[in-house]
């Protein structure tokens, strides 16, 4: 594989498939199964010289999938939610520690400004809220972020 980042993303998804596949939850298994298919199809695209897909295109899609995964994991039943989220962040941090840095910095800028100015900011705030909702010790942060969302939505 020519792209180091794509190789790292394949490793992330492969490990997530392995680790999250051990958890007994049908919604989680559906997600894991979709990753298995995506990895297989992506590898087929890369192996086929007649398909003009660039590794950067796959990188973009796989990164976006990882960025949206926490929003899916918070919808899991309570008995497997925390463990799934912990596994997810651990695996991503192991292979691509910088993935969430850019988004954390952007979220910090939004919080520092105290205002959501566009839909990207909204998704950053909403994503963070999904991750921390119901977590002990995160109530104050959740309320502050919720206030930012409500203010933005009133102005839209």
- pLDDT tens by residue, 98-131: 888 888 899 999 999 999 998 888 878 987 887 7
CB neighbour class for 122 (10 Å; exposed up to 12, middle 13-18, buried from 19): middle
The string over 3-25, giving b where at least 16 C-beta atoms fall within 10 Å of a residue's C-beta and e elsewhere, is eebbebbbebbebbbebbeebeb
pLDDT of residue 101: 84
Please tell me the pTM assigned to this model. 0.73
Low-confidence ranges of the chain (pLDDT < 70): 1-2
pLDDT of residue 71: 77
pLDDT of residue 155: 85
């Amino acid at each position: 594989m020519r792209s180091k980042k794509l190789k790292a993303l394949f490793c992330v998804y492969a490990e997530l498939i392995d680790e999250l596949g051990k958890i007994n939850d049908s919604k989680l298994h559906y997600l894991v199964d979709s990753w298995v298919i995506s990895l297989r199809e992506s590898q087929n695209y890369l192996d086929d010289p007649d398909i003009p897909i660039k590794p950067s295109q796959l990188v973009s899609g796989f990164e976006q999938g990882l960025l949206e995964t926490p929003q899916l994991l918070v919808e899991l039943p309570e008995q497997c939610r925390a463990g799934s989220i912990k596994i997810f962040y651990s695996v991503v941090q192991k292979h691509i520690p910088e993935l969430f840095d850019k988004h954390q910095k952007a979220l910090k800028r939004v919080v520092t400004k105290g205002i959501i100015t566009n839909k990207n900011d909204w998704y950053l705030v909403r994503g963070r809220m999904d991750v921390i909702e119901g977590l002990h010790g995160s109530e104050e942060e959740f309320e502050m972020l919720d206030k930012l969302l409500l203010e933005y939505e009133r102005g839209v």
